[in-house]
Chains A and B, each alone.
Chain A
Amino acid sequence: MAAVNRDNEEEVKTDDGSPKIKPRPIVRLGIFLIAHSPVFSVVFSAAGVLALLLLPLLAKNTYISENALMPGSARSMLSNRDVSDGSKLVKDIKNFRLNHEGQGVEVQKLIGKYMSDMGAEVSYQKFHPEGNQFHPLHFFSGPDSYTLLENVSCASYGVNVAGIIRAPRGDGKESIVLVTPYDFINGGDYEDLSLGIVSSLFSLLSRVTWLSKDIIWLVADSRYGDYRPVAAWLTEYHSPSFKVSDLLKCDEQNTADNFRRAGTMAAALVLKVDGRSEKFEDTLSIYAEASNGQMPNLDLINVVNYLAVHRQGFYVKVEKVVSLLSSSWLKIFGEIFEAVGKLAHMLNPDWNFGIPAADYLEGSATLASSLYSQALGIPTGPHGAFRDYQVDAITLKVSPRFPPDSKTRQHDFFLRGARLLEGTIRSVNNLLEKFHQSFFLYMLTSPSKFISVGVYMIAFALLVAPLPMVAASLYIDGCKSLTNSTDNPTENFKSWKWLDAAKQVFTLHLFGFIVTLLPYFICQVPGQHSPTNRSIMWGTTSSSLLLITFVTMPGCSPFSSRLHGTNWAILKSVTISAAFIGLCLMSIINFATAEIGALLLVPTCLMAQPIKPALRSRRLKSLLGAFCSIVLLTIGFPVMFFAISKGLLGEGLVGLSLGGEFWTWLESLWAWKSATYLYIGMVHLPCWLLCLCILFHPS
């Protein structure tokens, strides 16, 4: 797109001299688009937003793409004996806990003993629940760069228990992982249930003959959160540290067994049981988003969804934004789309794209949640740790419909939960290679409906399409006006007029880069500071840096005299090009961030224009344009946008507490190595500042 446009921009210039040459059709199309860029940019942006709203309509039904999976084709072998094994473990743990208050290690021993009784190899792993720290360069390095802390205290550490069943038909090179997060000290009754389900299954798997991949059951110590223990175990699994950890010394009991491994992981399932289902059936929630909007292969979700719905009768759901379900404007859209769909169906019975308004609402709420968690870049559960090692993983959260102490229902619940996991494992067990057949880039609108990358990219492409067009047309305008104004032909750099503007754009991007790194240094400031104080420090250092930049490089400042200032059309053209490159890059790294960012940045960049001529002319149209660009710029400031989105969610924030909240939010972003943080600092902020420069341009 950009290539075509830019092509033509030069073409226009050369055509001035020799109009006889008839350019190629594609070139003429480009010229036409550039010449009418204001109209087309409005059309394309509107189409982009509309396409985004249409996405729930365009969702396709999921299907199992990999034939080898064959979910549900084998009869379940899980028997009552296995389930009673699981029940026994749960009972024992409960009894043990009643007798021995707060002795976590003993519970681990108990679980370990059960595992080894079933014929598994058991190993214990100690880890340090180290907090996530901001480290600027960790964005660029892989997960291997985790370093062991020098001085660990014995006061707090966690212990993971892992049991491995060796597959009778396998060669020990592949494995499937089951994870149950469990708080050994104060785990509730629901957590016991998850142990019960997996131990029932484990008891079956230790007997079966069809296993060709080893099974690892990891009981993760979730005292320090769900994610951290799994991540620590995975780090040890994939990149062992050969230093003797201090943790090994600080224990009265010897749990320093050898760490056991079982080949590459084909898939991982995290099972959690919590809360009571509000529905009549047992509910199964699927969480799939890993860091930076990465998703597991769609086939894994499909298998689980298929087995849960068609075999075990769970009510399957994925997360959705509940507040959207009652929004009236979305309902209106849904009804319009429904009416259009019905009309189309009447015209031609083959056109079946209409869906009921209620489905549309559900779909959009789910899609919004999917977009939000992908854009945030923070994994929605412990499965996120697996994705860093290219292992497909999902978290299954089961909510039973009975209270946890109901013995009679427990047996049935264990049976169905374990059968679901058995079926999934059996399918994955059939795989000869990694999951690759189905989609990796998709968004869910319901457990059985998805939007693939080819569809949702259209919305984004339409949204950013105006950027190269407007950049080209502005570039031509700017060049023309510059050629008229300069009189000295020898000093006239015909094709290098954009250099000054590029310098300004580059300086502000450099500034954005420094601002992005500043929190690292602020975290190094000695002493305990509240988030509010830190955010104030950050704000003052950044703004003083900006002032210094403006003073030392007068060309960059929006308040400079006319002599230094560059032509605003060219500046805007370069700004828009930078924004285009940044958004396109981000759309590849994390689509959801780019989409939300484009919704903000594209109108801001397109509307930005000097405010002074508008005020001077006093025409309604230009005043309206200036007003719009001021409003957009106000919303576009990251802190402001954060406050507004918080306000929409019902948490009004004003003044300094806002700064603290913002800081905490950003801290969570960089702690999870979210690329969204980089996007905000290195694309959004500089482009926003540049738009501000254009707004106050003295022309």
Chain B
Amino acid sequence: MKEEKKDDGVMAEEKPYMFWIWTLASTIFRLFLIFSPENINLSSRPEVSTPHTSLRRLAEGYWLKQSSLSPYAGSMYHGSPLLLSILGPLTVQRIEGQSSHHLCSLVFVIADLLSALLLRAIGQKLQKSYRMNLRPLGVLRSSQDRGILPCGDIAALVYLWNPFTILSCVGLSTSPIENLAVIVSLYGAVTRRVPLAAFGLIMATHLSLYSAPLVFPLIFLLGYGLDAPPIKKFLQTRHGGVETGSTSDVSKQEKLTPTTQLPFSWRTVLHFVFWVLVWSSYVLVLCSLSLKQYGGLEEMFKRTYGFILRIEDLSPNIGVFWYFFAEAFEFSRNYLLIIFNLYILLTSIPSLMFRLKHRPCFLAFAYLAFTSILKSYPSVGDAALYLSLWALFVNELTDMEYSFFIFCGYIGFSLLSPVMHNFWIWRGTGNANFYFGNAMGYACFQFMFVEKSVNAMLNHDQALKKATAEMTKNLAITVIF
């Protein structure tokens, strides 16, 4: 988080080669951490690797599978069978003289790099559309795009240099791959490569169930196009823009569609749905082939999605559910499970969807941030993903309130978490309440972060509306005289 702010400053100088230098530096830094002789046992930290993403569990699952047992036997592994086939062989291979898992770490570094590059591409698209949307509104009349930050570069560097990302990359957790899948789906939708978007979505959902509702932002993205101010404001602008004749030819295509409704391209969406079906059946077939002798798909669903939804592992993590379900009575457990799982789905999706349907990428951010607070096994890798998606909107979110306070809170609670864990587990002078209190504080700050970001975005749209109204009024006056 701290690095992220630093990079903001660096990128504001707008030197194109700086991006590559920082990218290279981040890669070297990761490699240094991976190959350094010191082992600070990041992979056993509850903040970094959860029962769902831990590579050590994956290695265990692979070992079970090699000895002709079900990889899900013994409640150790709960991830995807495909990931097991890809990463599993790497966990046993050793580079000479080094301990195992180094090859997997290299895969994670590559995944991080790819994610960063895709984020950059997404950011460049968004920046272009932001410029196109603002130019006719007259906000950028005087200064030629000077105020616009290269949000793609910023987001990519935020992703690469965020301590959370580095921790989850070095700490042998599979979240870099999950993050990559999510970013691939967004990239596919932003660049309108429908099969790619569908593939990303299916892979993300397959790896972690919580990515499934991303289908809504993706459909909006494919149907309505990129993030833009809401349509009503546009219609007003179109009026003013046509009169002055100052619209650029690019924006003309979009603006001159004479509808009062949002244009929604059903064809692309149907295309997307088709590809989703294709990919999902493909993934299911692969999984069933890989698990043929061990109980097939049913076993997989029970052990992966069931494990996520039923919150079976109550070992401490930075989320808020483990403590609750450790305390809950057995007979009310099912009821509470239903309530909590529906809570995530029902509180976040519909309300955000209606307020933010004109900004699908931002909707994806808000949803991911929301789930990373309330999911059953959250880790810092989830925070890394939504923080970098947030950085895609630095231009829109310049007026975000409480920024310094939230920043301090994030730093304070992320540093406090290992201290509390040490207090509870190693020193024995604290107890579970200490660690859970820290998790609650962290969740509060995350909530505040999401709420303030959404607020800032809505305020930004409001401000644009005001500016547009003023401009049309001025234009009208000039026309009259």
A contact residues vs B (CB 8 Å cutoff): 2-3, 6-7, 9-10, 136-137, 140-142, 294, 390, 434, 440-441, 475, 488, 490-491, 493-496, 498-500, 502-503, 506, 574, 577, 581, 584-585, 588-589
Contacts and interface: CB of A to CB of B under 8 A. Distances in A.
Given A491-B147, A496-B398, A503 B404 contact: no
B2 A498 contact: no
A196 to B, nearest CB: 34
A588 B419 contact: yes
Contacts of B8: 496, 499
B477 interface: no
A490 B143 contact: yes
Contacts of B343: none
Nearest to A589: B419
Contact of A581 (B140, B412, B420): B412
B250 interface: no
Given A506-B2, A506-B5, 12 more contacts: A136-B38, A141-B40, A490-B139, A490-B143, A490-B147, A495-B399, A495-B401, A502-B2, A506-B6, A574-B404, A581-B408, A588-B420
A589 B400 CA distance: 34
B411 A294 contact: no
Interface in B365-415: 398-405, 407-408, 411-412, 415
A499 B7 CA distance: 10
A503 B429 contact: no
Given A496-B398, A496-B403, A581-B415, A390 B40 contact: no
Interface string B27-47: 000000000001011000000
B416 A588 contact: yes
B427 interface: yes
A279 B129 CA distance: 87
A475 B147 contact: no
Interface string B231-247: 00000000000000000
Given A141-B41, A494-B398, A585 B429 contact: no
A67 B426 CA distance: 26
Contacts of B405: 2-3, 6-7, 9-10
Interface of B: 2-3, 5-6, 8-9, 38, 40-41, 139-140, 143, 146-147, 398-405, 407-408, 411-412, 415-416, 419-420, 423, 426-429
B406 to A, nearest CB: 9
B40 A585 contact: no
Given A140-B40, A499-B8, A588 B428 contact: no
A41 B38 CA distance: 44
Contacts, number: 85
B134 to A, nearest CB: 10
Contacts of B420: 588
Nearest to B139: A490
B416 A503 contact: no
A490 B467 CA distance: 13
9 contacts: A390-B426, A440-B429, A490-B146, A495-B403, A499-B5, A502-B407, A577-B404, A581-B415, A585-B416
Contacts of B400: 495-496
A122 B239 CA distance: 97
Nearest to A434: B428
Contact of A294 (B146, B404, B429): B429
A495 B398 contact: yes
A3 B406 CA distance: 10
Given A490-B146, A499-B9, A588-B419, A6 B402 contact: yes
A475 B404 contact: yes
A294 B427 contact: yes
A310 to B, nearest CB: 28
A618 B41 CA distance: 57
A581 B404 contact: no
A699 B280 CA distance: 63
Contacts of B403: 495-496, 498
A390 B427 contact: yes
A664 B423 CA distance: 29
Nearest to B427: A294
A498 B404 contact: yes
A97 B3 CA distance: 66
A494 B399 contact: yes
Contacts of A574: 404
B415 A491 contact: no
Contacts of B6: 502-503, 506
B371 to A, nearest CB: 25
Nearest to B428: A390
A111 B8 CA distance: 70
Contact of B426 (A6, A142, A494): A142
Contacts of A440: 428-429
Q: 8 shortest A-B CB distances, which residue pairs?
A: A490-B147, A6-B405, A440-B429, A390-B428, A495-B403, A137-B38, A581-B412, A498-B404
B409 to A, nearest CB: 8
A488 B401 CA distance: 20
Contact of A588 (B3, B41, B423): B423
Nearest to A507: B6
B426 A493 contact: no
Nearest to A498: B404
Contacts of B423: 588
Nearest to A390: B428
Contacts of B416: 585, 588
Contacts of A589: 419
Contacts of A499: 5, 8-9
A589 to B, nearest CB: 6
Nearest to B38: A137
Nearest to A581: B412
A494 B395 CA distance: 12
Contact of A503 (B5, B41, B408): B5
Contacts of A434: 428
Contacts of A2: 405, 408
B5 A584 contact: no
Nearest to B2: A506
A372 B257 CA distance: 77
User: Could you say which of B5, B9, B405, B426 has the most chain A C-beta atoms within 10 Å of its C-beta?
Assistant: B405
A551 B129 CA distance: 39
A491 B143 CA distance: 10
B40 A581 contact: no
Contacts of A494: 398-399
A574 B398 CA distance: 19
A475 B401 CA distance: 13
B146 A491 contact: yes
Contacts of B5: 499, 502-503, 506
Contacts of A585: 412, 415-416, 419
A390 B3 CA distance: 37
A527 B407 CA distance: 46
Contact of B40 (A137, A475, A490, A502): A137
Contacts of B404: 6, 475, 495, 498, 574, 577
Most A CB contacts (10 A, CB to CB) among B398, B404, B411, B429 go to B404
A99 to B, nearest CB: 48
B411 A581 contact: yes
A435 to B, nearest CB: 9
A9 B406 CA distance: 13
Contacts of B3: 506
A448 B296 CA distance: 67
Contacts of A7: 405
Name, among B5, B139, B415, the residue most crowded by chain A CB atoms within 10 Å (CB to CB): B5
A304 B119 CA distance: 64
A612 B369 CA distance: 46
A577 B408 contact: yes
Select the residue from A140, A142, A475, A495 with max chain B CB neighbours within 10 A.
Answer: A495
Contacts of A498: 403-404, 407
Contacts of B401: 10, 495
Nearest to A9: B405
Contacts of B146: 490-491
Nearest to A500: B9
Contacts of A9: 405
